[in-house]
Amino acid sequence: MATGTPASLSVTLPSEREIVLSRQFDAPRELVFEAMSQPRHLVHWYGPHGYSLALCEVDLRPGGAWRIVHRDAEGREFGFRGQIHDIAPPERMVRTFEFEGLPGHVSTETLVLEDLGGGRTQMIVTARFDSVEDRDGMLQSGMERGAAESYDRLASYLANVATHRG
């Protein structure tokens, strides 16, 4: 299973317990890393269309915790949390991911950002789950659509930030 073009989200299933998301961005790797890891940026793009962030906390260091709460148009809130295990700006971050509405189902996400040159960045996120059922549950949750919309918002945000920085 592989979907998408470089400017859209590609989702692959390399093993029965993994999901890999990849996409290219027209922005330098340092800016993409900043936008994906710092609350001052995350509040502008993180989440599907029509959602805002009611809470965004990130302690960006190994052992640090993060928590994000999405709010939809009807005011319902959805919390996500985890811990940062490893960080090597601007190229890599490893963290856990848990939806608070389904506690105990924790995945480990590895973010890798590759510098493609010319101000372009390749993002690869590998999510590893404890079981096939957890991976399949994530796929059935609408994760692919939500992630695609969120990364579309990130691409627009990056273009806006780059315009104002340059």
Condensed to tens digits (0 to 9), the pLDDT of residues 65-100 reads: 999 999 999 999 999 999 999 999 999 999 999 999
Which pTM does this prediction carry?
0.93
Query: Tell me, what's the pLDDT at 166?
Result: 57
Which residues, including other chains, have CB under 8 Å from residue 32's CB and lie 6 or more apart?
A: 25, 90, 113, 121, 123, 158
Mean residue pLDDT of the chain comes to 94
Residues 21 and 139: their CA atoms lie apart, in Å, by: 12
Any idea which residue has 């299933």 for tokens? 13
- What residues form DSSP beta bridges with 135? none
Query: What's the DSSP call for residue 6?
Result: T
pLDDT digits (tens, 9 = 90+) for 105-163: 999 999 999 999 999 999 999 999 999 999 999 999 999 999 999 999 999 999 999 77
The alpha-carbon radius of gyration of the chain (Å, integer) is 15
Homologous superfamily, domain 16-25+39-135+156-165: START domain (3.30.530.20)
The Cα–Cα gap between 144 and 165 comes to: 31
Question: Using CA atoms, how far apart are residues 152 and 48, in angstroms rounded to an integer?
Answer: 9
